[in-house]
Structure formats: C-alpha cells, structure tokens
A = this chain, B = another copy of it.
Amino acid sequence: MQPAVEVSDSALTERQKDVLDAALALLVEAGDTLTMTSVARRASCSKESLYKWFGDRDGLLTATVQWQASKVRGVPVDPEAFGLTSLTTGLERFASDWLRVLSGSISVALNRVAVGHAGSDKHDLGAIVLENGPFAMARRLKPLLQLGRDTGLLNFRETDEAFRTFFGLVVRDVQIRLLLGDRFELTEAAIDRDSRRATQQFLALYGARS
C-alpha cells in the first residue's frame, strides 16, 4: 500500500523518466500551475499511474526536481598540470557553465517553483534545489580554490568566503532578475565576457600576485 516515494536516482523506469520529462516541460511552460491532469495528458499516462508512482502532487514535483538534478551532475575540473593559466581557465569555465545553467529556462522554472514552496513543505523542494544548486556549486569549486591556495596562487582565509565572493562576482543580479521575470538576453558572448570579468576580479582580490 505504501507509495513508491523512493526516487533514489535510478529507481526509475524509462516510462517514468518520460513522465518526469513531460512534467519538466509543463513546469517550464506553466510554472506551478501545472495540474495532475495536464501531466497525465502530456505524458499520455493515467492519473492512477501518477499517484501509484509518485504518491501525490508533491511527490511528483519532488521527483521531477531530483530527476533534473540527476541530469546536471558532472562538469568536472581536472587537477592536472596546475598553474595560473589552468586556474584561470578553470574559474572561467566554471563561471560560464554556471551562468549558462542559471539562465536556462529549466533552471528558472525549477527555482521558481522551489522558491514558491520553500518553508512550508514536507518534501522541502527548496532544500533540494539548494542542495543541487548553490551547495553543489560550492562543493565542486572549493577543491579548485584550495588547490590554488596550496600552490600559492591564491590567498584567502576561509574557503567558504572566497567561494561566496566568486559566486557574487559571477551571478550578481542575474538570477534574481530572471526569477522576477525580467526579460534578459544572456547571449553566449555576454556569458563569455562576464565569466572572464568575474575571474579577473576574483584574481585581483584573492590572487597572491599583484
């Protein structure tokens, strides 16, 4: 009788993944106003199956968010032949990847629904997005920062402080403006330019060289 709230990454049928992709598309189109009926129609499945697989509406949303999160993993930074140039390009690549994800319609939609549900939720969507968003970024970037410090290229007290400064220099007001619905054209050229600028500013603040 217990519904399958177990969505630990790959306990998902192909059929179920298709359903979650449909839910994702609807989330992008309609935001939090998507209905169970609309998901069922879009995915050509029955509501009964939705409830059997995901328990309830909240479970479906949670599974959808986790499903998207599981697709984003990766974007590694290789710690080989380390030097100022590889640190620089590593930071730049990181910044541009992050801006690209951040400004994507899927990310905007998921962050919107997570923000909307934050605080009063059983399967706290906010916590999930937080975990797979800013926190995941921190976990992936910190090794690079520490490598930079260990090799004398960077100079900072707390890794977390350095990360958060880099975060601010990269993201600035982009995310909040996108979430609030500002029409924003973040072209590929702008992303490249901003990534380089943020990296240079970060190096100016925390670089051991002057």
Contacts and interface: CB of A to CB of B under 8 A. Distances in A.
Given A168-B168, A180-B130, A112 B118 contact: yes
Contact of A164 (B112, B119, B173): B173
Contact of A173 (B33, B167, B182): B167
Nearest to A134: B173
B175 A120 contact: no
Given A173-B164, A180-B130, A182-B130, A116 B120 contact: no
Interface string A179-201: 11110000000000000000001
Interface stretch (A18-26, A48-56, A121-129): A121-129
A187 to B, nearest CB: 16
- State the oligomeric state as a number of copies: 2
B176 A127 contact: no
Interface size class of A (residues with CB under 8 A): 35 or more
Given A33-B120, A205-B205, A115 B180 contact: yes
A181 B124 contact: yes
Contact of A201 (B31, B165, B176): B165
Given A201-B205, A204-B204, A168 B173 contact: yes
21 contacts: A30-B120, A32-B116, A111-B180, A112-B116, A113-B116, A115-B116, A115-B179, A116-B116, A118-B181, A121-B181, A124-B181, A126-B179, A126-B180, A130-B181, A134-B173, A134-B177, A168-B172, A171-B173, A179-B179, A204-B204, A204-B205
Q: Which 7 A-B pairs have the closest CB atoms?
A: A118-B181, A126-B181, A116-B116, A168-B168, A168-B172, A126-B180, A130-B180
